[in-house]
Amino acid sequence: MAAQPQPFTLAVPDPALADLTERLVRTRLPDQAPIPAGGDPWAYGTNAAYLADLIAYWWDGFDWRRQEAALNAFPQYKVPLHGIDLHFLHVPGKGPNPTPLLLMHGWPGSVFEFLDIIPRLTDPAAFGGDPADAFTVIAPSLPGYGLSFAPGQKRFGIQDIADCLAALMTEVLGYRRFAAQGGDWGGFTASCLGATHPEKLLGIHINLLAIRRDPALAQSDDPAEARYRAELEHFLKENTGYQWIQGTRPQTLAAALTDSPAGLAAWIAEKFHAWTDHDGRIESAVDRDRMLANISLYWFTGCIGASFWPYYARMHGPWPIPEGKTVDVPTGYAQFPREILRPPRSLAARTYTDIRRWTEMGKGGHFAALEQPAALAGEVAAFFRALREDKA
């Protein structure tokens, strides 16, 4: 018999808040490497002047309790599952027959990404939509992330995460079939679920494709594939340092970032700068308070080392989509213009055999649920409209 979920409320102790403030006040920042005239102040990593301002705001302007209360406004639970206490939001839909939707974040994200999109998914009528499009949203903290982490617990790769979340949806919550949506590792997990648990899924919607590197791409003269090849080459040269250290020496990096909130902020904020659709300022794409809520959750839970584990598992194990397998469940994809990588449909179709919706979005980046909640919610609703159980 499956364990029963227990209600959960996040309440960071006051001494932990005081400790964070003390550490931030005593931050010792590096100098800024000289920037050539007209050069990019983020070219070498997190800009020192931006980081100094962010840290000052974190201890002197940011209200953690307000963000904590925003999360606690949603029903939350923990349940013993696959050797850990798994945290998740379970928000009932408001409609005639809400579809269960597993909503998954990635790295360096958390459930704080979803606070603005969940109401749009669970109660579309409140935003001018059709109540028939309502979802019941299940949004877990991925195993090893945030509130699904405890010191000393086992580590999870993507297949392990997929198996755990499949058990949550079917064995714990009793959903026979469900929809899944995700970006970053959440997109990889949705894809893995589609490949290894297809009988449990109505379909998957993703905003990051799990595409293997194809040697044939080097010889392709297809314009879309040539564009992607150039995009991939630049990414591999300039933007994969984090993957190598997280995937080969996660314990070493975890020691630094678990001890220094300034270092943690620098490490995560750099990704928000690199991967969001902003005008030069992160805050034009993502609310500063919400970004700091996300960073703070990593800090208070001490989960940063465990959150690296999908990278380590990826570099030392198989691709998350098993060799020889494809994703054959109905698939929808939203391609945001500032996503890390944007493979063309011709390549995607070699992994995803049943792509039913492919939308090139007008604005947004890697943190789609946080940057463009209305647009992403609309895409998810449109894709699953024809797949709901009452219409199957």
Considering its fold, how many domains does the chain have in total? Answer: 1
Catalytic residues: 184, 311, 366
CATH assignment of the domain containing 332:
3.40.50.1820
Residue 186 lies in a domain: yes
- The Cβ of residue 181 has, within 10 Å, a number of other Cβ atoms equal to 31
- pLDDT at res. 389: 65
Residue among 388, 386, 368, 365 nearest 377 (CA): 368
Q: Is the pLDDT of residue 219 over 80?
A: no
pTM: 0.96
- pLDDT at res. 390: 53
Q: Are strands 135-140 and 84-91 parallel, antiparallel or unpaired?
A: antiparallel
Range of the domain at 129: 73-257+298-391
User: Who has greater pLDDT, 392 or 88?
Assistant: 88
Q: Is the pLDDT of residue 392 over 50?
A: no
Residue 229 lies in a domain: yes
* Calculated CA dihedral for residues 71, 74, 80, 85, nearest 10 degrees: 0
Residue 243 lies in a domain: yes
Give the pLDDT confidence of 228-268 residue by residue, as tens digits. Answer: 888 889 999 998 999 999 999 999 999 999 999 999 999 99
Residue 346 lies in a domain: yes
What's the number of CA atoms in the CB half-sphere (13 Å) around residue 9? 5
Contacts of 18 by beta carbon, 8 Å cutoff, 6+ apart: none
